[in-house]
Amino acid sequence: MDEGGGGDVPAAPLHLREAERLASLRSYQVLDTAADAALDALTAAAARALDAPAAVICLLDRDRLWFKSVVGLSALVGYEHHQVPRELSFAGHVVPGQVLVVPDATADPRFAGLPMVTGPEHLRAYAGAPVVGRDGLLLGALGVLDRSPREFDADAVQLLLDLAPTVAEVLELRRTDAAAGLSGREVLTESRRLRAGIEAGELVVHYQPVVDLTTGRRVGVEALVRWDHPDRGLLPPDAFMPLAEASGLVVPLGRRVLVQACAQVARWRREVPGAGDLRVAVNVSGRQLSEPDVHEVVAEALTLSGLPPQALLVELTETCLAGPGVEVDITLQRIRSLGVHLSLDDFGTGYASFAYLQRFQPDTVKIDRCFVAALGRSERDDLLTRSLVELALRLGCDVVAEGVERREQAVALTRLGVRHAQGLLFSAARSGGDLYEPVPPALT
């Protein structure tokens, strides 16, 4: 298809949350892939049902349109990966929730100068339904086209609306979502419900204190997200985070947790006696680290809240550090350059723990609860925990022990040189409004 000759074509407006939309689209990894028989069948079905000479399924990238399936356009047949500039398309104007109907493109200033209208295809009419992905964001459109002006009645519009979700389901089936344990159709349904929950403020942050083992004083908190589900009650992360990871919703969810946690801790530092140096640890997933602007998100959260950078610990797990090395290194360097501290979570549980300790030089390491639970069980278990603690301390890291549930564990950790801990012995994770109650007495 000729990409020239568009003239002064009015640009399509960017969608709300354009950066998230693009991240969602690219996570499917289907932009430049081979022809798909299922998509071709849907395209042909749309053309046949609406008695249209042409139909397309396209995906809307940052500044171009990818044709994934084409029926009836000779200039595109055999070139399903063909691209056109985003502004030279009908689909660039499709928005979620409604079908774009163009009865006569030559009478519409948005489309009159398009090459597919003025060129050899001589297209005049278009109707396109949005293809919406698992997180409620636009992926592209299923459209039918005609070379004569025509009206698309309510039945035609409804048929396109009925077919478009099936396109999304096919795209879902091309992905592997074993982590979520859901089929393509289930991922779509559940992800949209999670997106709605995020937008409705149902995702809330609870805080578990980190205490000084020698004084009992709270020195920090870990921010932990919960879903206050209207039907299922308060859900722990295990009930929805695999879905958030698989769907890409962990990015907007993580951003909200970060902003909310920074604001809450900044408020406590200002208003609560004795909390002037409180710190907050916020978990960051591998999916968040892959976003090119993650350091800008962190900087913005600090600026909006007024929280000093050194009061924020970005908490990392081996899973999130397992991405491409150079990209992760650069991202963490940018975050650290803000003055933010890095914390290595679940230390000692993975095969690469020691390599990551050397590579990323975290300010804090968190001894996993499995080592805390094993204290006193055998000399071998005690030796292993002692070795982990001594190594971290010798490398200049602060050490935080997780999962402390009994006083004897706290005493044993103190003897090993661990100064900070969190767990049910001190407090469960609580909402911001419930957290500040009398702290436990000193343990020595």
**Could you read off the pLDDT of 107-128 as tens digits, one per residue?**
999 999 888 898 888 899 999 9
User: DSSP readout, 101-141?
Assistant: EES-GGG-TTTTT-HHHHSTT---EEEEEEEE-TTS-EEEE
Q: Is the pLDDT of residue 222 over 70?
A: yes
Q: Is the pLDDT of residue 2 over 50?
A: no
Q: Is residue 200 part of a domain?
A: yes
Q: Is residue 388 part of a domain?
A: yes
Do 208 and 119 belong together in one domain? no
Domain containing 110: what range?
18-173
For tokens 């500039």, what's the residue? 85
Neighbouring CB atoms inside 10 A of 91's CB total: 25
pLDDT at residue number 329: 83
**What's the pTM value of the predicted model, to 2 decimals?**
0.64
Query: Is the distance from CB of 115 to CB of 89 less than 8 angstroms?
Result: no
Do 144 and 206 belong together in one domain? no
Do 281 and 320 belong together in one domain? yes
CA 280/CA 82 separation, integer angstroms: 48
CA atoms within 13 A on the CB side of 140: 27
Do 322 and 355 belong together in one domain? yes
CATH code at position 167: 3.30.450.40
Four-residue CA torsion sign, 224, 229, 232, 233: positive
Q: Is the pLDDT of residue 362 over 80?
A: yes
Distances (CA, A) of 249 to 109, 132, 187, 315, 363: 36, 14, 12, 19, 28
Do 189 and 306 belong together in one domain? yes
3-class DSSP state of 400: strand
Q: Is residue 440 part of a domain?
A: no
Q: Is residue 25 part of a domain?
A: yes
CA 163/CA 157 separation, integer angstroms: 10
From 152, 173, 194, give the residue that closes a domain. 173
Q: Is residue 12 part of a domain?
A: no
Neighbouring CB atoms inside 10 A of 40's CB total: 16
Do 142 and 68 belong together in one domain? yes
CA 254/CA 408 separation, integer angstroms: 35
Four-residue CA torsion sign, 377, 380, 383, 384: negative
Structure tokens at 278: 């409180």
CATH code at position 292: 3.20.20.450
From 173, 194, 224, give the residue that closes a domain. 173
pLDDT at residue number 64: 84
pLDDT tens, 259-312? Answer: 999 999 999 999 999 899 999 999 998 878 878 889 999 999 999 999 999 999
Distances (CA, A) of 6 to 11, 25, 140, 215, 280: 11, 26, 21, 72, 53
Query: Is the distance from CB of 76 to CB of 67 less than 8 angstroms?
Result: yes
Q: Is the pLDDT of residue 77 over 50?
A: no
* Residues, the chain: 444
Nearest CA among 226, 254, 371, 246 for reference residue 314: 254
Query: Is the distance from CB of 416 to CB of 392 less than 8 angstroms?
Result: no
Q: Is the pLDDT of residue 189 over 90?
A: no
Q: Is the pLDDT of residue 236 over 50?
A: yes
pLDDT at residue number 424: 94
Four-residue CA torsion sign, 379, 385, 391, 397: negative
Candidate ranges 81-85, 194-198, 225-229; pick with highest mean pLDDT: 225-229
Do 123 and 235 belong together in one domain? no
Do 97 and 195 belong together in one domain? no
Do 146 and 189 belong together in one domain? no
DSSP H helices in 396-439 = 407-416, 432-435
CA 367/CA 353 separation, integer angstroms: 11
Do 151 and 224 belong together in one domain? no
Could you give the number of structural domains in the chain?
2
Q: Is residue 11 part of a domain?
A: no
Q: Is residue 38 part of a domain?
A: yes
Query: Is the distance from CB of 125 to CB of 99 less than 8 angstroms?
Result: no
Give the H or E element holding residue 181: none
pLDDT at residue number 334: 93
Give the E-state strand segments of 277-428 in sequence order: 279-283, 312-316, 341-347, 364-367, 398-401, 420-421
Distances (CA, A) of 427 to 86, 383, 409, 431: 53, 28, 15, 12
- pLDDT band at residue 413, thresholds of 50, 70 and 90? very high
Ramachandran angles phi, psi of 246, nearest 5°:
-65, -35
CA 222/CA 255 separation, integer angstroms: 15
Do 55 and 147 belong together in one domain? yes
- pLDDT band at residue 143, thresholds of 50, 70 and 90? very high
Q: Are strands 398-401 and 364-367 parallel, antiparallel or unpaired?
A: parallel
Structure tokens at 266: 């900044």
Give the H or E element holding residue 204: strand 203-212
Nearest CA among 285, 373, 299, 369 for reference residue 328: 285
pLDDT at residue number 223: 97
Do 238 and 289 belong together in one domain? yes
From 153, 173, 193, give the residue that closes a domain. 173
Query: Is the distance from CB of 23 to CB of 62 less than 8 angstroms?
Result: no
Percent above pLDDT 70 for the chain: 86
Q: Is residue 6 part of a domain?
A: no
